[in-house]
Amino acid sequence: MGTAIFMVLMVCGYWYTSHDLSTRFKFKRSFGWDVYFLVALYGCVFVLQGILAMALLWLCLLIASTVMNQLPAEFGPQTHHLQMSFMNWSFLGIQAPVVMMLAFAVLFCFWRSNWSGSARLDSAGRRELYKHLSRANGVEGLIYQCMETGDLAWITLKSQRIYIGMIHTATFDSGDANNIVLIPMLSGYRDAKTLDLHVEHNYSAWYAEHNIELASGPRPALDFRKVLLLSQVESLSLFDPAQVLAMGIHRQREQQA
C-alpha cells in the first residue's frame, strides 16, 4: 500500500511539473536533488487533496447516517453506520478508500495540468505568464521586452557573430534546446582585435528593395528568421541606431585625422 501511494505521488508530481507552464520553468531550472524534491512537493499536494476529498466523502456519509438514524420510520429501526462500512470496504485485498484517494489524486493532477483554465492559455495568456516568470532573469526579461515592444535587439554570439533584429519568439523550457527566433535586420561580426562592428548583410535594405513586409506578402520577413541557441549567446542588449551611427562617425574622424 505504501509503495502504491509513493508511486502515485511521484507520477503525479512529475506529470504536473512536465505539463504546467509555470512549474515547468522551475523544473527545467532545477538540478540534482532539487528535481526530486520539487516533484515530490507537487505529488504530496495532489495526494493531500485526495485525502481531503475522502475526508469530505466520509463526512457526507456520517451526516447521511445521522439523518437515517433520526428517521427510523423511513430507513428502518437498525442503526446505520455508512461511514464505518465505507472505511472497512475492500477492493482486491486493498482498502477501497485508499484506492479512491489515489484515484482522486490522479484526477486532480490531470485536471490541474491539462483541463483547467490556467493550463489552456492562449497566446496572450502565455505571453503574460512568460513576462511574469522572466522578471527574475535579466536575459529573459530583456528578450520579452523586445517581443512586447518591438524594439530591436543586438545579439552577440560566442563566435563574435552579431545579429541585430526583432525577436519573434523565444523558448526557455526545452533544456539545451532553448533558443531565440530572430527576424534579422543587420548581421556581421566583431573584429577580433579592435572589436569594431563590420556589417556583412543589410536585411532591412533588402526587405525594402523587394517589398518584403514583416508578416504579410508572398514571402514575409519571417521566412528569413534565424534560430539562435541561448547557449551560444554571449551578450544581449537593445539596439540603438543613433549610438552606432555616432560611433561610426567618430571612427571616420579618427581615420581622417
Please give the C-alpha separations between residue 135 and each of 128, 139, 149, 179, in angstroms, as whole numbers: 11, 9, 16, 18
Q: How confident is the model at residue 238 (pLDDT cuts 50, 70, 90)?
A: confident
3-state DSSP assignment of residue 152: strand
Question: pLDDT of 153-167, one tens digit each?
Answer: 888 888 888 898 888
Of 125 and 16, more confident? 16
Mean pLDDT throughout 176-193? 82
Highest mean pLDDT among 39-48, 72-81, 243-252: 39-48
Question: pLDDT of 103-143, one tens digit each?
Answer: 899 998 888 887 655 555 565 666 666 666 666 667 777 88
Residue 245: alpha-carbon gap to chain centroid: 39
Please give the C-alpha separations between residue 205 and each of 142, 183, 211, in angstroms, as whole numbers: 26, 13, 10
Q: How far apart are CA 257 and CA 254, in angstroms?
A: 5
Pick the CATH number of 123-256 from 2.60.120.260, 1.10.3720.10, 2.30.30.100, 2.10.10.90: 2.30.30.100
C-beta atoms surrounding 184 within 10 Å: 20
Is the pLDDT at 250 greater than 50? The verdict is no
Domain ranges of the chain: 2-119, 123-256
C-alpha cell at 257: 585625422
Which pLDDT score, from 0 to 100, does residue 97 have? 80
Q: How far apart are CA 174 and CA 42, in angstroms?
A: 20
Question: pLDDT of 44-98, one tens digit each?
Answer: 999 999 989 988 988 988 888 888 888 777 777 777 777 777 777 776 666 778 8
Which pLDDT score, from 0 to 100, does residue 48 have? 92
> Which percentage of the chain shows pLDDT scores above 90?
3
